[in-house]
Amino acid sequence: MSSGMSGSCETALGLAQEYEGRVQVVDNHRISVTQRHAVLDALSLREAGYTAGQIREILEKTACDSLIYVGVNTLEYLKASGRVTGAGAALGTVLNIKPLLVIRGERLDVYAKVRGTKHCQKLLITAMQE
């Protein structure tokens, strides 16, 4: 998982040092579907004859070539993680505010805030088309 969203990457990097280059950890700032695609890319590169170190370099070089849009149905988890205050979550719930988030590399940002799930879905499709 991206170093910007989890400490797991730093832990893995530390552990990999004990294996003197035999273990490669890729911090390509990916999560979810894009992380799965990075694994598939790594497998294809391996089949093409690239070394583990070369694969790591390629994946890290293309780290910011993808992004993920997330339409949030409830503010409960954003509140629990501290990304939204309790008052903000309560007000957003009353007003039916649905944030559309975007993950770019290791950053999670608000792309837009809209009222209602249908508007959020429409904006999500528009953002993907752009």
pLDDT (tens digit per residue) in 53-64: 999 999 988 877
pLDDT at 38 over 80: yes
Q: Residue 68 is encoded by which pair of tokens?
A: 């993920």
pLDDT at 58: 93
pLDDT at 1 over 60: no
pLDDT at 8: 78
Please state which architecture CATH assigns to domain 67-129.
2-Layer Sandwich (3.30)
pLDDT at 50 over 60: yes
Long-range residue pairs from 114-119, CB within 8 A, at least 24 positions apart, any chain:
117/71, 117/73
> Helices in 17-67 by DSSP H: which ranges?
32-47, 52-61
Average pLDDT over residues 86-96: 86
Q: Which residues pair with 102 in a beta bridge?
A: 69, 109
